[in-house]
Structure formats: structure tokens, C-alpha cells
Amino acid sequence: MSALFVDIILPVPIPQHFTYALPDDMQSRCEIGMRVVVPFGRKKFYSGIVAAIHDRLPDYDTKEVQVILDDRPVVQPLQLDFWAWMAEYYQCSPGEVYKAALPSGLKLESETVVVYNADYHEQQPLSDKEQQVADFLAQEKQCTVSDLSQATGIPNVVPVLHYLMSLGMIFVSEQLRESYKPKIVQMVALSPAVRNDDALRKAFATLERAPKQLEMVMQLMQLAGYKAALEGAAIARADLLAKGGSAAQLAELMKKGIVMQIEKVVGRIDTQLLDTLEPHPLTPVQQTAIEQLRNLFQTQHTVLLHGVTSSGKTELYIHLIHEQIAQGKQVLYLLPEIALTTQITTRLRRHFGNRLAIYHSKYSDAERVEIWNDLLAQGNFNVVLGARSAIFLPFTNLGLIIVDEEHEPSYKQYDPAPRYHARDAAMVLARLHGARVLLGTATPAIDTYHNVQTGKFGLVQLFDRYQGILMPQILVADVRDARRKKQMRSHFTPLLIEHITRALADGEQVILFQNRRGFAPYLECGQCANIPKCDHCDVSLTYHKHHHILTCHYCGATRPVPVTCPACGAPSIETRGFGTEKIEEEIKLIFPDARVARMDLDTARTRKAHEQLIHDFEQHAIDILIGTQMISKGLDFDAVSLVGILDADAMLNYPDFRAFERAFQLMAQVSGRAGRKNRQGTVILQTTNPDHPVIQQVITNNFAHHYAIQIAERETFKYPPFYRLINITLKHKDQNKTHRAADNLALALRHLFGDRVLGPQDPVIARIQNLYIRQIVLKIEKKASPARAKQLIQQAIHALVAQPEYRSLIVQIDVDPM
């Protein structure tokens, strides 16, 4: 048999694949997309993905593949093509894409923590090596793969661990991630020896003097069904004991050989068919819109559905999903925020039952692995609803990708690499599958609308709200004028207080939007103006009153609140600014009878917390909901008649060329939460600058005017969509080295790109987690070759980090930064 080699994608940030020799006994079993365990370096082992199989001898000594982990590929060829595009476009390594794409439970490496399963019951004998590992883990409970190898003296322990995992004796747990542990249920069935009428009668006779045990066997027969029980049907041990028997009685029955206990691995995802509803009939306006969509999809790969809030975009999505399923196709429905999935899941579940899968980071790793495997096997799921990571799933027959709220910055991944934008990546994924992309929003991104204007995307507009609901009335409250007249009540204008009072009296609900969490953005000494700052980052610490601590929102460091000023010793520490926590406290003082809740990262960290808050608000258990941008995105509440935007100026004054675009989107989106079927909603927009152009555009809901101004400025100042931006960030714990490296790299890039290079400069926050930061920005014309530009950038960076002085320098590339 001729020698074969495999190119492996390893979960490490190296720019190329590594080639390994494939042993003769593995050649017939190995396929592209399978996971294999390979040695890397002197002591590490990783599970990697087979990217290619060939007979080309590399020009270096190859190590051998140790074990093949799969019976079938877990990654498909189309996915590998998608990974390759993402690594090339977003300037990262294939290994970084692999780490982002696969759930933790499908990855195994030397630093993986191995955990002993205390519920495991030995079923078969083990070899000496397997028993040695099992005994060690039973005693230690958990340890890393590399430590286990060292403790047992077994140089390559990974194949042994793989076998023990298949038995359910151990499971793996990635640090900072939820453990992946097969869900095992203890089941009870009749022993094979008594599975006929004669043997069962004899068994009953032996139990005449043990009536409790006899009753337990009768309960088993009743729960399983007489015929099914004789065929070996099992029922859950917990269900049997719940009928009144005891564990001791069950143990006696097992000892007598009448029943047996077995373990069954069950899925965490409910795949039983549910009764579902047909889509609701469309209104004439919606019917026209869906026909336009169908026609455009004949010629256009991507279509923008520009529909105002409450116009019924989701109903159109449901009809289109039904059409795709009828054709045997799969649909990916992307949402920018996990918080949104709660309401949408309930709505989609009514129509698609358990053919709908939910995939995002708040679900356990085990659940994500099961969804991955189900899609690979083309099993139960036709529709996947998820956040940005869902684009990595192994679709086999994708027909449509819906990107809801396509304008949202949350679709952009910041850290770690790959720093991809899910909306843009979804378009590439769709092309690979021959699928179509539908972008939906009430406030399109400037870049997206430019693609519509230039004919790259199709456009369907839906400007009538469902059931004739009127767009909200937007009233501006002048904070500066109210302060001058001493009419402010804490952070609330008289106009806002008046409308909250009226809404509560009418039994209606209120949303208050403040895009900053915590109690106060910072503390300040009233005598010397000293502001407590993070020891590790160049930012002020945010005061959280509930826990009475100061917290850094960048590195997570906390510090007790000082009683006196650490600089001058004066007992005059005062809060400055306000966040959602402070708004919550003050609203409770002003409206003591109102039921008030807060939705931000502090109160909605878990999936259950998200769902509970939304459920309580839907059920009118909350009167006033205070929140950050979490509450601005697509949530639908029938009884919200008033929305208050507390600090519009903070959004408008952010130092970013997209600040006005984002401010318009946020204010328009949160305004859209107001309004009910028979009554126009109201929005109170508090600002010190009522005449600001963006404020006026929000009041008149004039997106066209907003777009015209923004696109003209972008063209004048060479910003997207006319130029492509690439941010290069350099980080080092030595400030001088960071500055020297940035200067050297900028000089090298200017030799290649001329005045397209801006910087280096300090970012707004120039130190995070004790690393000093400098940034270089490249503005490259859209007509220029992006591949050639990125190749030159990589060469310049490699030349820099090859110098001994800069080996510990961190260089990050962000293509199309947000």
C-alpha cells in the first residue's frame, strides 16, 4: 500500500495546515472532514480536522496520526471552503476559524480537562492501560490530558481517553465552558430470562411472599405495556420508584434476576413532533411584498426587506420558511442578540414545532453538539434560529438565510479571531450553497442601503404597520431648558414624568432606555476631582450600587468603594453620570407602587434570566422596564404605550464615523417598541440639543434624508462603503516597545500603501489588562485587490515580529471594523 499523508487543521494560530503520515491500517477509514488526534510539538496532542488526503511527501519529517475519532466526517467540504474563505478574508489562521466553529465537545487537546463520570457503572472489562487511567481519574475526579499522561506514564493517552469517552466513563470540559457530559437515564426492564409467559408466571410465583416486589414488577408491566415489556421495553427508574416502590426492593428484584437496570443515553433536544399551525393569512400589503421578494430572488442573490417596526416582517419570514421546507430545504434565521430568541422561538415553534433548533452560546455545549450531529445526519431540524455562531453549522441543503435586524453591530465578532461579520459571512455561505439571503430591518445599515442603490441587492419596502397601528408620536424634551428652569426631577424631565404617570394610570407599560449599565459611570472626589481608575486598564471604574463595588467593564477587575478620597483624603466621593441601575433606583422612589425591572448585562447574563424578564413583561408582571440596547432590538410587547430615551446626547457624541448612523438606528428601533392596536404610542426623547439633524430625522422617521447626508460624508472622507478599512492593533506590556513597533510597522506600510496608512495612534482606551495599545488604520479603495493588499500587510507584520525584540508582541488584524 502506497504511503498516504493528511493535511490537518489544528486549533492553533498558525497560518498553514500541518502534514502527517497516515498509518496503513487507517487509510481505508480516513476521510476529509474527520477528526484525528495528532502530536504537536514535543508533548502536546490535539484533535484536528482532515483537510486533504494525498501522496505528496512533505519536505520535513512527518509524525503519524494517532487515532481517528469519527466513523464519518463531522465537517463537510462546503464548510472547509467556507473556513478557508473566512481565514483569507478576515486575515486569521484556519485554526482560529476551527476553534470558533466547532462546539467544545467536538474538540480534544492536551489542555482539555478530563472529568470522571461518577454515575458510570462498569459494564465490560478494561485493558491494563484503560484500567490504570480509570483508577487514576476515579481518585482524582478530574485533570488535564497532559497531566494525566505524565501521572500514568502513558506517552499517548488520547486513544485511551477516546475509548473511555465512548463508554461514558469520562467526559471533557473546556475551561470557561460548560461541561460536555452525555445525558444518561437509568432504565429498568424485565430480564431476558423472564420475557415469556411461562417464565413470567414462575417469577410471579417466587414473589408471592414479597408482595411489595411483586407490586413493583406489576407497575413495570403496566407502565411499559404487557406486550412491550415482554419485548424488552424499558422505563425510567425514577418513574418506577415514583409509583411507591423503594430502591431496596428494586435491588432485590435485580439480584433475583427478574429485572435488569440499563443505562440509556438520551438527547437533550426534544425532537418529538408537535402540532403546528399554518401561517396566518397575509394582508394585501404583505402579499404584495412577498410576491416582490419571490420575483427578486429569481435574479438577485440578496434582497433587503426595509420594513418599519410592527409591519409584519416576521410573518413574511414564516411564509418563506414554509416554502423552503416544502422544497426540502433548510433555513438559517440569524438574530443579533440572544435576548431576541425568546420571543421569536415561541412564535416559530407554533409553526415549525421541533423541526426548529436553537443555537447560541447560552445553550449548553452538549445541546450544541447534539444539534451539530443532527444536522450532519439530516435528521430532525429544518430551521435553525441562532446568533452569529450559527453560520458555522453543518448545513446540507441550505435554501435561505434570513438576517434579521441586519444593521446591528452585534453581528460583528470582536475577540477572539476570526473577527467576522455574520451578515457578510452569511452571503458567502449562501453562495456556496446556492441559497438566497434576506436582510430585514427598519433601519438599514448605510453600507447595505448603498448596495441597494447601486443594484447589488434587491429592495422590498413595507411601510404600513400591521392592523393599521400608527407610528409613535415622538416628543422632544429639552433637558438644558428644564435644568435652567430647575424643573428636572433627578434625570427625568417634567414631560417624561407626566407621560409615565398617565401610562401607569391607564394600566399600560413603559420602557426606559439608557445605553449604559451600572449605577454611575464613575465616582469623583468633590474636592480634588480625583476619579478611581482601573489598575490594569486606562478607564474609570463603574459604580455598581447593588453589590457596592467598583467594576472595570473591560477586564472585570473589582475594587471596594472608598469611603474617603485615596488622593486627598476628603470624605467627598460623589457619583457622576447615570446608568440603568441608578435609573431603576430613582424610578422606584418616584413611582413606589410601580413594578420596576431592569434588563442589562448584569441582570440577564443567563438564558433563563433573559427568558424570565421577557416573560414577566409580556404577562404584565412588570410596569416599567429599564434597559440598555438589549430592549431596542425586535422585541414585541402589546401594552407598551410609552418609551423614554433618557440620554440621546451620549449616543451622538461618540468619537466614531458611524456614531450618527448608530444613534439614528438605536433611537428609531427603541421608539418602535411603542404603540398598540387601537392607540398611538408615544416616545419622549430627552436631549440638550433638540435641533440636532439626527434628532430631527428620528422625529420625522426620515431614513432617506439620513442616508443622503451620511453617504455624502462617507464619500468625501473616504469611509465605507467607498473604501475598505483594515485596523491593525499592536499590544505589548512594555509601552515603549508598543510605540516603537507601531512606528516601524507604519513606516513599512507607508512604503507599500502611501497615504492610505493612518497613524499609529492611541485608541480611546490605550491600555487594557496591562497591555499598551497602538492602532494603525488602512483605507483601501474598493476597486483595489483586497487579496494583494492583505498579502502585503501580512509580509510587513511577519517581518516585524521576526525581530527578537518583538517576539512577544501581539498583532491583531480587523478587516471591516465596526
State how far the Cα of 691 lies from the Cα of 476, in Å rounded to an integer: 10
| 30 annotated ligand binder | no
User: In angstroms, what CA-CA distances link 436 with 279, 386, 399, 457, 560?
Assistant: 21, 17, 6, 11, 53
Cβ–Cβ contacts within 10 Å for residue 113, how many?
A: 17
* Contact assessment for residue 536 and residue 769, using Cβ atoms and an 8 Å cutoff: yes
* Contact assessment for residue 249 and residue 216, using Cβ atoms and an 8 Å cutoff: yes
**3-class SS at 493?**
coil
Helix residue spans in 107-177 (DSSP H): 128-140, 145-152, 158-167
First to last CA, the chain: 53
**Within its chain, how far is the Cα of 669 from the centroid?**
21
| 552 annotated ligand binder | yes
State how far the Cα of 367 lies from the Cα of 136, in Å rounded to an integer: 29
**Within its chain, how far is the Cα of 115 from the centroid?**
26
| 92 annotated ligand binder | no
User: In angstroms, what CA-CA distances link 510 with 101, 559, 624, 714?
Assistant: 40, 34, 5, 37
Q: Could you tell me the three cell numbers for 152? A: 500514568
Sequence-separated contacts (24+) of 544-547 with Cβ below 8 Å: 544/518, 544/519, 544/581, 544/602, 545/519, 545/581, 545/582, 545/585, 546/519, 546/581, 546/602
Pairing label, strands 624-627, 509-513? parallel
State how far the Cα of 583 lies from the Cα of 518, in Å rounded to an integer: 9
| 143 annotated ligand binder | no
Closest CA to 440 of 403, 477, 411: 403
Residue that the C-alpha cell 411603542 belongs to: 674
State how far the Cα of 576 lies from the Cα of 574, in Å rounded to an integer: 7
| 565 annotated ligand binder | yes
Binding-site positions for Zn(2+) read 525, 528, 534, 537, 552, 555, 565, 568
Binding-site positions read 525, 528, 534, 537, 552, 555, 565, 568
